[in-house]
A and B are shown apart, each in its own frame.
Chain A
Amino acid sequence: MSDELTRRVRDALGPGRTSHAPPEALWSRIAAGTSLLPSRRRFLGWRVAATGLAAAALLIAVSMFVRRGVESRAPQAVQVVTIASLESIDAAVSAIRKDSASVPRVADEMVFLARMRASLQSDFLQKAP
């Protein structure tokens, strides 16, 4: 604060400035003593606005970081999804394998699943970086 403002604040507070008066009462005395200080309500409004702006900036920064992270992982996402698909086919084959010798339909289904597996690999995995 400038010297002039300091003097006027001290004058406004008077000798009781170190008293145990509640902050609201002290602020009222200061505000009544000088017009150079903003009102408490205005001061609080400015703080709320600043906090809101900071929070919004933080939110934007985090969302940009997350989005960039997701995008940079796109190749991995393709591979992860394709590998999960292959694993689901493998699980299906394992589930019916025990009957393949005795039931021709099961053997035929295993051939179908093997074809699906090969298609997935050629369509999605072989070209992935």
Chain B
Amino acid sequence: MIALLVAAASAACPLSGKDLPPSTRLEIAAQGALVAVRGAAGARLALKPELDCSMVGNVLRIVVPDGTRDVTADVPSAIAVSVTVLRGNIEISGINGNVMADVGAGDVQVTRVNGDVTTRSAVGTIHLSDITGRIDAAAQNNELRVTRTRGDVRVSNVSGTTLLEAVQASNIMATTVTSEIVCTCSPVGPGTWEMRTHTGAVRVAVGRNVEFVATLDAPPNASRVDMSGVSQQTEGKRKVTVVRGEGGTRMLLSSFSGGVFLQDQDQR
């Protein structure tokens, strides 16, 4: 019993229950676990279960022992967070700093982040919502969903569906190989939206007051524009240029052998 108590005491992070300076970068690495990081203003570091940690410079590093299934870290919101999990899930919320979440086989969910978000999931879904910074996300064969964000977006998928919902961005880069890209987006200034798939479909819906110059590139008769107040010009067998207003967002919407669809948002 005494040995167990001593072991438990030695495994606890000495920073538990203490404030972390805003420059702190929390790094969590796990082989197989569900890792949840929850930020809250004024919160102090609390780990469940208690885990060992090391602080080198401004980096607080926690290596989750193999066999630990669930890890929850309550942290002050004003820090940067980086979580790497080989197999398992990552859930991060309430962070006012940059976030990186990388899982091999598992799902990623990041929400309420005021900062840049970088995520990877080789075998799993990625769900990002309520984020104000830049987004860089890559999945392979599962859904990648981005909701209510206000920063530039770069998303990549292979055979999983990519959904961009209520995304406000100057620049968007979305690519897939065989799947669909569905975007309900609004520009926040001049920029470029490039959405491209090889054999899938690209579906974009924008507000009626949005000015843009869009180039739709698809096989003959595979492009469809369902909008009001636009002019269209066909170029060759594949390209259609659609213009509304003067200037605005430049859109490059392309599918090599699938369809491209552009329409007003209220028609979705």
Contacts and interface: CB of A to CB of B under 8 A. Distances in A.
A100 interface: no
Interface stretch (A10-18, A21-29, A112-120): A112-120
Interface in A57-107: 71, 74-75, 77-78, 81-82, 85, 88-89, 92, 96, 105
Interface bin, chain B: 20 to 34
A78 B198 contact: no
Contacts of B175: 112, 116, 119
Nearest to A125: B122
Q: Interface residues of A: mostly helix, strand, loop or mixed? A: helix
28 contacts: A71-B87, A74-B32, A74-B86, A74-B87, A74-B105, A75-B86, A75-B104, A78-B123, A85-B140, A85-B158, A85-B177, A88-B158, A88-B159, A89-B158, A89-B177, A92-B198, A92-B199, A112-B175, A112-B196, A112-B198, A116-B156, A116-B158, A120-B158, A123-B120, A123-B156, A124-B122, A124-B138, A128-B104
Nearest to A82: B122
Interface of B: 32, 86-87, 102, 104-105, 120, 122-123, 138, 140-141, 156, 158-159, 175, 177-178, 196, 198-199, 217, 238, 256
B255 to A, nearest CB: 10
A120 B104 CA distance: 13
A92 B177 contact: yes
B122 A88 contact: no
Contact of B105 (A77, A85, A92, A127): A77
Contacts of A128: 104
The list of the 3 closest CB pairs from A to B, nearest first, reads A74-B87, A78-B122, A78-B104
B236 to A, nearest CB: 9
Contacts of A77: 104-105, 122-123
A112 B102 CA distance: 25
Interface string A31-48: 000000000000000000
Given A120-B158, A124-B140, A81 B122 contact: yes
A113 B105 CA distance: 24
A92 B199 CA distance: 9
A116 B104 CA distance: 19
A82 B256 CA distance: 22
Contacts of A88: 158-159, 177-178
Nearest to A119: B156
Given A78-B104, A82-B122, A105-B238, A123 B138 contact: yes
Contacts of A78: 104-105, 122-123
A124 B177 CA distance: 16
Nearest to B196: A112
Contacts of B177: 85, 88-89, 92, 113, 116
Given A78-B104, A105-B238, 8 more contacts: A74-B32, A75-B86, A77-B123, A85-B158, A92-B177, A109-B198, A116-B175, A124-B138
A38 B11 CA distance: 54
Contact of A120 (B87, B140, B198): B140
Contacts of B158: 85, 88-89, 116, 120
Contacts of B199: 92
Q: Which residue, A81, A127, A128, has most C-beta atoms of chain B within 10 A?
A: A81
